[in-house]
A and B are shown apart, each in its own frame.
Chain A
């Protein structure tokens, strides 16, 4: 579905997500309305349990809202089947996790190739794209290493390479520096920001105020509600 020129990439309309915990209902997201434009750099902050991760999961189509609508690239995703959602996720969304989530038995190259394989792209077409990606992430000499032979920073770079090899519309990073020392963390943030500079929309969930400050827009969540939405100077 082609989007209009002024349509937001991500649009949440009165979106709520409830969880039942025993007898109680927990409002992980409570009536959230917000739009993220193409090419934005957004940081999401808030205390534990404020709904940041739930937001990321819903935007990434891993979870469904209880109420409200979520339009991705102008398309209402809430009514899509699991299989259609997977297809949209494959084309438009890249995930970066705190724990990297690399598959330990596969090499860096194979981990990066995974999304292309799942999308059913021919091996002949995959190979040059993987080589190019390895090159641009400075991982060419690590291509045949397995995750346990890589440093934390290298692992996260492999994970980012994997998230972006399909050229998604938006990269969703959940505490991408949470498991890294400050040097590697800074490297990873620089890598993500370079991608954003090239036009990729970037949403980073973080606890780290320093990282939060770097984004041009900061969303603060509290008890499942959007408490503040601030534009920032870099």
Chain B
């Protein structure tokens, strides 16, 4: 067709720009609504991602080549009826030490945990007492503030020595140097040989708030033969699956063929956490996206008002030869331009918010993933377009004569 090519895209955008530039209040309101939605999507996604990175980083700092062995089997295998008195066979120090015979296992830290009153002089408090071996220090990356950690050597020996977390040391000893002092744990006396450097929360245990004693001493203290768990460090991260099978096989051999322990690798935990946190992030971002839909509705409402306020202008444009499609295009360009403005403002607000957050909370790095910025802004613009269609069509369908008369 050799007819006129009709209203050009750039001209529609320029015309829409003049229109939104002349209605400052309306433009500011709609930009704000869109910006809030976009900023919410980006900021919440960034927070979610930050939480995910934080948790994963925390896990990886403990080493990716760690297996944890629990007594008892917490999964139903079916087929076999439950045996009477189904208490799991205890996991013993012998079991733990047997694991070191595998070439896939580098070191093993048996763990006993209990609460006991710890006192020095007239000060006393209830403390989580952790029984383990020298290997624990290496596996959990523990640094010493003063003195040394538990001595190596025979794990069955129970020398009366203890290592304290910083909080425990401070609260019991105050300004007195703790190393070399004798303190009382339960009804036994222990000599303090070291204080651990502050590490904070690690896997749910605050290492600053514990006292560490040799595993055999803890077993005697709490009068138990069973271990709370055994931490196994495999030779390498790649050998985790085979190490896991080996650990299960060794324990089963020692427990008359019964596979009655649970072995969890950090990898599996990591995967689970990763999945959970990713879904949480998406969920939160999805909720934020609802605010975008609300902003879209606002755009539609304001555009509808704009169409009814500008009927004369629409009538005039028709009289000047604008096709219905050209009119629709002008109003659609306006809605889209507004949502673009809102999206840009939202990205800026989110960026500013993230920067401020990172400055205030240095230990928890938060960053908006690029896809979130693209998605947030993209959804905003798409929303503007979608919700702009109805007002644009209403404008395009106005009767020219009535519109010119302002009816």
Most chain B beta-carbon contacts within 10 A, residue among A82, A86, A119, A121: A86
Q: Which residues of chain A are near B325, meaning CB under 8 Å?
A: 83
Q: Which residue of A lies closest to B1 (CB)?
A: A87
| In contact, B11 and A117 (Cβ under 8 angstroms) | yes
| In contact, A63 and B7 (Cβ under 8 angstroms) | no
Which of A104, A106, A115 sits near B321, CB closer than 8 Å? A115
B318: Cβ under 8 A from any A Cβ: yes
Contact string, B20-47, partner A, CB cutoff 8 A, digits 1/0?
A: 0110000000000000000000000000
| In contact, A62 and B11 (Cβ under 8 angstroms) | no
B3: Cβ under 8 A from any A Cβ: yes
A205 to nearest B CB, angstroms? 14
| In contact, A118 and B320 (Cβ under 8 angstroms) | yes
B257: Cβ under 8 A from any A Cβ: no
Q: Which residue of B lies closest to A174 (CB)?
A: B404
Q: Which residues of chain A are near B317, meaning CB under 8 Å?
A: 114, 118
Q: Which residues of chain A are near B312, meaning CB under 8 Å?
A: 101
| A86-B8 contact given A57-B401, A106-B18, CB 8 Å threshold | no
B116 to nearest A CB, angstroms? 80
A162: Cβ under 8 A from any B Cβ: yes
Measured in the bound complex, the distance between the Cα atoms of B170 and A53 in whole Å is 96
A100 to nearest B CB, angstroms? 10
B residues near A (Cβ < 8 Å) are: 3-8, 11, 15, 18-19, 21-22, 312-313, 315-326, 400-401, 404
A residues near B (Cβ < 8 Å) are: 57, 60, 62-63, 82-83, 86-87, 89-91, 93, 95, 97, 101, 103-106, 110, 114-115, 117-121, 123, 162, 166
Q: Which residue of B lies closest to A83 (CB)?
A: B323
| A82-B324 contact given A97-B404, A103-B313, CB 8 Å threshold | yes
B396 to nearest A CB, angstroms? 9
| In contact, B18 and A91 (Cβ under 8 angstroms) | no
| In contact, B323 and A82 (Cβ under 8 angstroms) | yes
Q: Which residues of chain B are near A91, meaning CB under 8 Å?
A: 4, 321
| A114-B323 contact given A63-B401, A120-B6, CB 8 Å threshold | no
| In contact, A83 and B404 (Cβ under 8 angstroms) | no
| In contact, A95 and B320 (Cβ under 8 angstroms) | yes
Measured in the bound complex, the distance between the Cα atoms of B322 and A120 in whole Å is 10
Q: Which residues of chain A are near B18, meaning CB under 8 Å?
A: 105-106, 110
Q: Which residue of B lies closest to A97 (CB)?
A: B404
| In contact, B320 and A162 (Cβ under 8 angstroms) | yes
Q: Which residues of chain B are near A83, meaning CB under 8 Å?
A: 323-325
B314 to nearest A CB, angstroms? 11
Q: Which residues of chain B are near A97, meaning CB under 8 Å?
A: 316, 319, 404
| A120-B401 contact given A62-B318, A86-B321, CB 8 Å threshold | no
| In contact, A118 and B321 (Cβ under 8 angstroms) | yes
A18 to nearest B CB, angstroms? 14
Q: Which residues of chain B are near A87, meaning CB under 8 Å?
A: 3-4, 321, 323
Q: Which residue of B lies closest to A54 (CB)?
A: B401
Measured in the bound complex, the distance between the Cα atoms of B3 and A83 in whole Å is 11
Measured in the bound complex, the distance between the Cα atoms of B325 and A166 in whole Å is 20
Q: Which residues of chain A are near B313, meaning CB under 8 Å?
A: 103
Measured in the bound complex, the distance between the Cα atoms of B404 and A166 in whole Å is 21
| A114-B404 contact given A91-B4, A101-B312, A105-B19, CB 8 Å threshold | no
Measured in the bound complex, the distance between the Cα atoms of B179 and A140 in whole Å is 95
Q: Which residues of chain B are near A115, meaning CB under 8 Å?
A: 320-321
Q: A97-B316, A97-B319, A101-B316 provided; 12 other pairs, C-beta below 8 A?
A: A57-B400, A83-B324, A86-B326, A105-B18, A105-B21, A106-B18, A114-B317, A117-B15, A118-B7, A118-B322, A120-B4, A166-B321
Which of A63, A86, A104 sits near B323, CB closer than 8 Å? A86
21 CB < 8 A contacts A-B: A62-B400, A63-B401, A82-B323, A82-B324, A83-B323, A87-B321, A90-B321, A90-B322, A91-B4, A101-B312, A101-B315, A103-B316, A104-B22, A106-B18, A115-B321, A117-B11, A118-B6, A118-B320, A119-B4, A119-B6, A120-B6
Measured in the bound complex, the distance between the Cα atoms of B11 and A57 in whole Å is 27
B56 to nearest A CB, angstroms? 54
Measured in the bound complex, the distance between the Cα atoms of B400 and A166 in whole Å is 20
Measured in the bound complex, the distance between the Cα atoms of B313 and A221 in whole Å is 29
Measured in the bound complex, the distance between the Cα atoms of B346 and A66 in whole Å is 53
Measured in the bound complex, the distance between the Cα atoms of B4 and A166 in whole Å is 12
Measured in the bound complex, the distance between the Cα atoms of B319 and A121 in whole Å is 17
Q: Which residue of B lies closest to A92 (CB)?
A: B321
Q: Which residues of chain B are near A117, meaning CB under 8 Å?
A: 7-8, 11, 15
Q: Which residues of chain B are near A101, meaning CB under 8 Å?
A: 312, 315-316, 319, 404
Q: Which residue of A lies closest to B403 (CB)?
A: A62
Which of A60, A104, A119, A120 sits near B319, CB closer than 8 Å? A60
Q: Which residues of chain B are near A104, meaning CB under 8 Å?
A: 22
Most chain B beta-carbon contacts within 10 A, residue among A62, A114, A118, A121: A118
Q: Which residue of B lies closest to A95 (CB)?
A: B319
Measured in the bound complex, the distance between the Cα atoms of B316 and A82 in whole Å is 15
Q: Which residues of chain A are near B21, meaning CB under 8 Å?
A: 105
| In contact, B7 and A90 (Cβ under 8 angstroms) | no
B406 to nearest A CB, angstroms? 9
Measured in the bound complex, the distance between the Cα atoms of B321 and A90 in whole Å is 4
Q: Which residues of chain A are near B5, meaning CB under 8 Å?
A: 120
Measured in the bound complex, the distance between the Cα atoms of B11 and A105 in whole Å is 15
B113 to nearest A CB, angstroms? 75
